[in-house]
Structure 1
Amino acid sequence: MSLNNFDKKRIVKNIFVIIAFSLVLILALVLANKDRPEYTTTRETGVEYETAKVLAITENNSEIDRDTEGVLRGSAELKVEILTGRYKGDICFVTNYFSALYNVDVKPGDTVCVRIDTTGDRVYNCNIYNYNRVPLIICLLVLFFLSLAIIGGFQGIKAFAGLAYTVLCIFGILLPLTLKGVQPIPLTCGIIFFTSAVCFYLIGGFSKKTVAAALGCFGGVMIAALLAQVSANIGGISTFQMDEAEALLLLKSTTAIKLRGLFTSGILIAAMGAVMDIAMSIASALEEVHNINPERDARQLFTSGLNIGRDAMGTMANTLVLAYVGSALNMCVLIYSYGVGLRQLLCTDFVAIEIIRAIAGSVGIICAVPCVSIIAALLYTRKK
């Protein structure tokens, strides 16, 4: 089956746009990571984390602690072989300590991550750091990709590419530029707008549907950020009240990082995925409604978008709120066990932060529905 001229032009245009997006990403990554400080090691000093294989357990002094749900306590002497790094092939004897908080239980043949502290030329100490989780992470990523590819087909592959693009932008552009002192909120807004545009283009190409979804998504995320910032200012919440504040303050002494905007930036990123979901759902549904009945005017399409969104926004808001509750479940259990009163509970930094995150993100999802609906209605009914 041969392609007509229109299909050929569309393929060429898509290839050109993808190349352009890739070049922009590469250029941004190079500029953002320029002059990035790197941890270096020498022959006499340095700390490295490498992979090692457990050859044998030469001595086992551990026992099961029945009072702590069967975790091991004590220690075990291990014979390990270093598999990676400059000490590859070396045989070491290490002590593996067990406690309720540190419990790396291994057997001969297992691979582990070890910490190697070099104190002189070929003089070093080797300690068990943790399980070797790299194969597990790779398997999970492959499973995720195969699930998208098998069930979603080519659309699933494009969705995975969009996710990979977003992750690269966050870790390769947002983080290094934040450390260099760029204001995190404007930077995050720019990255969200650009990456959402790329994701929507990969999924649906350049069309009225993707334009409406991208602009509506950006509008919903901005509303979430505005609500979060206003609520944080009123409630006296900032990055300095978060669990990582002490470590970030130490980081500030050696970098130009701006801490106050990180709280809102985190909410922007957390809300982005859910808002993108509902934005594309509304835009796609309105496109179908318009194609079935092109005579519907903008007001009728807008009303249809709201009706469709009312069913979706409830479940999406639940998704976001429950995601925050699930991530903070351990802390919730602790707070509940202390018998904390409602007033004291609502005034704590931790609870206030999580409530602001959940409510701001949910409001962003809700407001994305009319944003996408009005933009899509205007685009679909616009005369050429």
Structure 2
Amino acid sequence: MNVLLLLALILFILMALVGGKKGIKSFIALFLNFLVLIVTVLIMNDPNTNPVLLTLVACVFIGAISLFYINDINNKTTLAFIATIFTTLLLLLFIFFITEKSMIYGFSEEESDGLTIFSVYIGIDFVKIAASGIIMGTIGAIVDTAISITSPMREIHQHNPGITRKDLFMSGIRIGRDILNTSSNTLFFAFFGGYLGLLIWFKDLEYSFGEIVNSKVLNGELISILTAGMGVAIVIPIASAITAHHLVGIKDKKK
């Protein structure tokens, strides 16, 4: 049996045993999101397509699959979805600006050796491609944080329906503070684990510390991680405010 199929089967069994029906739906959602990414990349090959707008559309589908397909359509998933889209739009201008000013777009020196036989004049704006990559890298962390805020806030409101909007909002902020630390560490160690080979290569090539810090390939990934961390930090107050306003607003209308 192919190793990938074996690992996928083991993951499916574990998710089914631990998560039950929701675990199975989460496993299916992984492949649905993967298909969205593949379709996005294929369409992005068309020079007439705007990669940033296409990526935003893909993020909408990814957010909808991750939230509505797995957890059904309810107030906590709807609020998390709204917070995710709003946060992504806020980050968009900053991502585009920092991508252009930092010049992390295009191929790095380490990647250029293997591309010398190919033409890089493919009619695609590499600034938009780099910005799209960063946006796609942030959406998962933002969705995860958003639902981690709205879900416990809804539970708090259900068990304490008399809570004020301000107290409910502050509860969301306190929950978010705990999530922020673990999410930041997750992003950092995911980068370090994924690029451990690159760091060892830098050492074998006897790169100085300055050369490592200023390398395009390293800076591109660090900017992506830092931007994802910013997205996680921004979505916490946004999700808390939207959820507190909605839940307490429902209570006020019923009076």
Q: TM-score range by the shorter chain?
A: 0.7 to 0.9
Cα drift, residue 292 of structure 1: 1.0
Q: Residue 275 of structure 1 aligns with which residue?
A: 142
Instruction: Give deviations 1:114-163, integer Å, cap 9, x for gaps.
Output: xxxxxxxxxxxxxxxxxxxx711111111111111111011111212222
Aligned length: 249
User: Where in structure 2 are the equivalents of 1:297-308 lying within 5 Å?
Assistant: 297-308=164-175
Q: Which residue of 2 aligns with 1:152?
A: 19
CA distance in 2, matches of 1:242, 1:175: 24
User: Is 1:176 equivalent to 2:81 in the alignment?
Assistant: no
Unaligned runs of 5+ in 1: 1-133
Say if 1:248 and 1:196 are closer, same or farther in 2 by CA, change over 3 A: farther
Distance 1:317 1:226, change over 3 A: farther
Give 2:74's aligned residue: 207
Determine if the alignment matches structure 1 residue 164 to structure 2 residue 49. no
Matched, 1:294 2:134: no
SS at match of 1:381: helix
Q: Tell me the CA shift for residue 178 of structure 1.
A: 0.4
Match of 1:364 among 211, 220, 231: 231
* Counterpart position of 1:349: 216
Distance in 1 (CA, whole Å) between partners of 2:117 and 2:99 is: 19
2: CA distance, partners of 1:282 / 1:207: 14
User: TM-score, normalization: structure 1?
Assistant: 0.59
Q: Which moved more, 1:321-330 or 1:282-291?
A: 321-330
Q: Which amino acid aligns with 1:177?
A: I
CA RMSD of aligned residues (A): 2.5
Instruction: Within 5 Å, give how 1:1-80 maps onto structure 2.
Output: none
Structure 2 counterpart of 1:16: none
In structure 2, how many angstroms separate the alpha carbons of the residues matched to 1:312 and 1:233?
Answer: 31
Distance 1:372 1:317 in 2: 18
Distance (whole Å) between structure 2 residues aligned to residue 150 and residue 294 of structure 1: 34
Q: 1:336 to 1:225 in 2, by over 3 A?
A: farther
Q: Which moved more, 1:219-228 or 1:289-298?
A: 219-228
- 1:223–1:363 CA contact under 8 A, matched in 2: no
Task: Tell me by how many angstroms 1:209 deviates.
Answer: 0.3
Q: Which has the larger radius of gyration?
A: 1
Note the residue ranges of structure 2 that are not aligned, 5 or more in a row: none
**RCO higher in structure (CA 8 A, sep ≥6):** 2
- Which residue does the alignment assign to 1:239? 106
Is the strand fraction higher in 1 or 2? 1
Displacement after TM superposition at 1:212 (Å): 1.3
| Counterpart-to-counterpart distance in 1, 2:57 and 2:147 | 20
- What amino acid maps onto 1:154 in structure 2? K
Contact 2:99 2:127 in 1 (8 A): no
Find the aligned partners of 1:216 and 1:305 in 2 and give their Cα distance. Answer: 13
Greater fraction helix = 2
Q: How many angstroms does 1:273 deviate by?
A: 2.0
CA distance in 1, matches of 2:200, 2:23: 38
1:187 Cα offset (Å): 0.6
Per-residue CA deviations over 1:40-74 (Å, capped at 9, x if unaligned) read xxxxxxxxxxxxxxxxxxxxxxxxxxxxxxxxxxx
